[in-house]
Structure 1
Amino acid sequence: MTSPAPLGRRGLLFGKPAMADAPPPRPVAGIAPSCLAFRGIACMSCRDACSTGAIRFTLVRGGAVPRVEADACTGCADCAALCPASAITVAAPAEGEAADA
C-alpha cells in the first residue's frame, strides 16, 4: 500500500493534492467521424499500424467501427500517420475528460 501524496497549502484548503504532484495526462488517439469505417468503407489501416493493439474494431450492422483502448494506447501516432482520411488525432485528454475515445 502506498502512502497518499502530501498536500500543499492549496491542497489543505481544497482537499486535493497539489497539481505538481499529479503526472501530466498521457496522449491518447482519438478517432473523428470522418473515419472511413464510420462511413461503411472497409478500412483498418489504423488497427494494422498499432503495435500495441490499442485500436480494436467492433462489428456493427453494415461493417465494423473502430474504438481506442485508452489503457493500451501509447500515443505514438503511428495510426495517425497511416490514416487515409486523416481522422485520427493524438492529444492529451482535457482536464476532467475520460481518456476513452
Structure 2
Amino acid sequence: MKTWKSNLEETKQRYINWWNHKGIILNMWEHFQEGVQPHAEIMPPAPAKDLSQKWFDPQWRAEYLDWYVAHSSLKADILPVANTQLGPGSLAAIFRRSV
C-alpha cells in the first residue's frame, strides 16, 4: 500500500510488540509541522468564512485536514491520521448550534 509514512511497516511491528507488552511506541496525538517537507502538493482550503464553517462544515474540514496531514511530520510512530475531534464539549457545541 502506498502511504505518506515511509516507515509504516516498522511502526506496525512496534504497535504489535507494544500490544504484546514488548517495547514502547513513540507517538503524538497531534502532528507538528515546523520544518516538514510536504508529503503531497495539496493546497490549503480558502480561509474559513467564520467559526461555524471552521468547526461544522464537513467539506471545509475535510479539505483542511487533508492539507494538514500532508504537511505534518510522520516520524517515529506518528500515524497519518486526521483528528476529527472538535475538542472538549463537542456535543455541546453541536446541540447549541442554531439550525
TM score, norm. by length of structure 1 = 0.22
Structure with larger Rg: 1
Structure (1 or 2) with the greater strand fraction = 1
Question: What TM-score does the superposition give when structure 2 sets the normalisation length?
Answer: 0.23
Q: Which has the higher helix share?
A: 2
